[in-house]
Each structure stands twice: as structure tokens, then as C-alpha cells.
Amino acid sequence: MSLSTDLEKFTSPDNILEGAPLSEYTTFRAGGPCAALVSPENTEELRAVTAFLEERGVPYFVIGRGSDLLVSDSGFSGVVISLRKHFSGVSVSGTNLTAGAGALLSKAADEAASASLSGLEFASGIPGTVGGAVRMNAGAYGREIRDCIESADVLLPGGEIRTFSKDDLDLSYRHSVIEEVHGIVLQASFRLTPGDPALIRALMDDLNGRRREKQPLELASAGSTFKRPEGYFAGKLIEDAGLKGYRFGQAGISEKHAGFVVNYGGATASEIMKVIKYVQQEVFRKFNVVLTPEVRFLGEFPEGGDPENTDPEGPEISGDPGED
């Protein structure tokens, strides 16, 4: 029996896509297929699916908008779980906003503004989901998820659903406890403050205008590829290393914002990875600073293993972009 047939015991066939091309589910627009992409309809289905996969020893990965994710060209041999279709509701009660993990941050911010609630303006231009944002403690313009989240309901391996308070989530720069506990965020609650809707919308417009001005939004990317190293800005280091505009095949460093690795159209994940590794190597060689990717990785990357454990003095990556 195929894996998809097995999964049909837990959710409708309409919610299962065998061999889904993950390039279509990530903003980098690169990467191969997964065994199956499943979109459970509710918590019970999700729980049954994960219990089955755990019992069978089939690896699974939860994807949000795929806006901080690079999937390898060979794809992922396990099951990708998406909550975008059925866990995307947003509701407001008083000054509290609750959003399903699959809701886009832009939708949550918009609903907050419509309810005259301030606190999520910073998130309106971050192209991820609520689940991905909690996992990453996403932030922008001086604010982050940690500043407004109250709690998150999380499905843990083994089937327990636990409400994590803000403190339990252990949020810090692009980090939460979700990765350590291998949890799946189901929904999150945010404590907001009453505000003037016109001012809330004006702030959102201003921040989104600044994004359009500074970021290469016309190209496929995963936003800032690297975390901010303490005491530095990744983009400035990359620019100072002379890498702005550097290209390898169809991937490269944005001319507009050196912190963004971009896909100029049709780049492979391998090309994107080569750019990431080359930038790490060059920035370390020139400034002795280790750049750690903010982007998460899924699948096997033969061209350099795990870039998060890069030994910057390790094997050389050729800077020759060759013919493309």
C-alpha cells in the first residue's frame, strides 16, 4: 500500500498531494518533491497523521508559507504537513487576537487593524504564517513576536497538546523552544492594545513602503538569509566583502540588499546553497565573522552538508560562477 493510501485513512484524499513539488510551496521557488504533502482538516486528523508517521518511523516536517526555507533539489523523502488550508482562522475577543498556525501574518495584522488593535503592525509585511513566525520569533523594525504573544497551543510528539505560555516558548532572536521540543504550533494568542485604526494602518503602510524600497521583493528569496551576527549587520559585511551582485548560476546576492540571497529565475537549491556557503566562507576569510543562516534547510545538500555547522576554515567552495 502506498503512503498516500495509508494517509487516506486519516484525512480526505483531497488533503493529500503525493510527490508535491516543494518549489511551489517555498518563496525561494527551488527544491524537489516530498513523498506527500498533507493538509489535515482539524487537530484530530493532524494528531492521527503524526501518530501514524511516528509509529511507522516516517519523517515529517511542518511547513508554513515556506518563506524561511530552502528545500534540496532531491526533495524530502518524508511527509510535509501544511496547516495553511484548514488552520487559518483569526478571531478577536476584546484585546486578544487568536490565529490559527496556518494564517498568514498579513491577515492577522489586518484583522487586528480592523478591530482597532495595535501591536502586530510590524508583522504585516513578513510573508510567513503565524506558526512559522512563532517558531522563528519573527521580527522587524524593532518588534518581534515575543513582544505581543501570550501563548501558543502546540502538538508534541506522542500526541500531547500543551499550551505554552510566552515564557515557556523561550523566545529569543529567531529562536523558540518549538524546534527543541519538535512541536507543531496549532494556534497562537496575542495580547494587543487598543489603538486608532487610521494610525495602525498608516504605520503598516509606512513599514511596507520601507520594505518595498529596501528589499528585492520582485525576486524569489527567503528574506534575510543570515542571522545578524552580534555587533554587525550581515548585509553590510557581505557588501563590504565585495559580494553584492555576486552570482552563481541563477542564484546570487541581491544588488538591492546584500543580506538577501535571491533566485533570479530557475535557480536550483544547489546554486542557492553554493552562494550561501561562498558568502559564509568569504565573510569569515575577510572579517573573521561567522554568518549563521536564518533560513531553515530541508533535505540533503551534497554540496556542503549542514551550513549551520559550517567550519568556516573547511573545504574551499569555488567562487567561480562558471557558465550559466
Find the catalytic residue in 174, 191, 201, 247.
174
- Taking the CA atoms of 94, 89, 41 and 37 in sequence, report the sign of the dihedral they define: negative
Helix axes 197-214, 105-114, angle to 10 degrees: 150
Please, what is the minimum distance in Å from the beta carbon of residue 322 to ligand FAD? 27
Q: Is 285 a catalytic residue?
A: no
Strands (E), the chain: 16-18, 34-38, 60-63, 69-71, 76-82, 90-93, 96-100, 117-118, 139-140, 143-144, 149-155, 161-165, 184-191, 193-194, 220-224, 247-248, 251-253, 260-263, 296-298
Find the catalytic residue in 121, 271, 282, 294.
294
Please, what is the minimum distance in Å from the beta carbon of residue 219 to ligand FAD? 9
Residues 164, 120: Cα–Cα separation, whole Å = 20
Residues that bind ligand FAD (CB under 6 A): 27, 61-69, 83, 101, 126-129, 131-133, 135-136, 138-140, 178, 184-185, 215, 217, 221-223, 296
Please, what is the minimum distance in Å from the beta carbon of residue 90 to ligand FAD? 15
Closer by beta carbon to ligand FAD, 122 or else 284: 122
Please, what is the minimum distance in Å from the beta carbon of residue 224 to ligand FAD? 6
Q: Is 191 a catalytic residue?
A: no
Find the catalytic residue in 88, 224, 254, 270.
224
CB 157 within 8 A of CB 47: no
Residues 146, 117: Cα–Cα separation, whole Å = 17
Closer by beta carbon to ligand FAD, 16 or else 101: 101
Q: Is 12 a catalytic residue?
A: no
Give the CB-nearest residue to ligand FAD.
Answer: 64
Closer by beta carbon to ligand FAD, 142 or else 231: 142
Residues 193, 163: Cα–Cα separation, whole Å = 22
Closer by beta carbon to ligand FAD, 3 or else 81: 81
